[in-house]
Structure 1
Amino acid sequence: MLLPLLLPRVRRFSVLLWPVLPLAMLTASAPPARPPHLLQLRLNGVPVKADTTYSRIEVSTGAGKVLTLAIARADAPDEQGLTILVDEFKPTPGIYRFKEILSGHVREAGYRVGDMSAESMACGVNEGEVRVTNVDAAQHLLTGTFRVVLCQTNVARSAAKRLVFEGVFHYPYEVR
């Protein structure tokens, strides 16, 4: 006896919920948001804003795959900025140390902004590393950190400054 009395109310209530239910189902099943692209740079411990329009990460697909990180400064986007080259790059997580000079690997970094120019090979000991912690081949995203030491090359050796660049990246890469 109660069912005939409740049925009109249930129908009226379900008509009101019908437009809301598909939206609730879509939002409940949506995949978690990916972290935004990130490119952080520090020079001698001081944060330097990176220009995400002109900065890029490239992975060549030819023999001896090369990873190139080219990070432009936001205050000098037309300048070369920091460039890090790592050959024999395998698109998997790993640590690529610069001190492996005798192995024949080309792992070096250079920096050019304004009248400042510096190279990792100019320091005597080629210190540095790139740590790749994640490679998302489907989304073309590379995640990791880097630390390189460069020495000025455009001044007398006695006046040359050591520059320590450190950074973090979660950034799309281009395949060349």
Structure 2
Amino acid sequence: MPDLAQIHQALVEDYRESFEIAAGKLLAQPSWTLEATVVLIHLQSGEVTIGPVQSLPLWLEHLPPELDVFVRLQEQGVPFEEAYAQCLAEQGQEFVAACEAAKRSKPLVTHDNLAELTGLSQKGFARQPREMLALAQWSDHVSGFLVSCKQLRAQAN
């Protein structure tokens, strides 16, 4: 079974033209800002979105910020009931409302994830050669990875 890096590389090959366009845009940007170019592959539809990293919250359904603490506690191994009780005590009705909203929309990322993806974009931009943030949106999760712009541009020429 291929590992995630191999899957990501295959996605770059499958969507090469979109990646080449996005790499050209990112290489033209003089410094990293929230306008830095990112690629989002919608795997269920096969569509690709190219745009600024600041649009990630618009493109990716995300949990209400009131659930970030709950998710962090769960990731730390705190039992569900204990994490729920702690967040309920700290946030009250806002937490309950956020839980109900999340049940209806089934978001794939948290605000923490959005911040991590933004940081990954910034890290890739600072590398030599420059790397671009790419995202693959699966039916049940989102994976982020960096793609070398130099490699894309070299193969495009």
Q: TM-score, normalised by structure 2?
A: 0.34
Larger Rg: 1
Tell me: higher relative CO, structure 1 or 2? Use CA pairs within 8 A at least 6 residues apart: 2
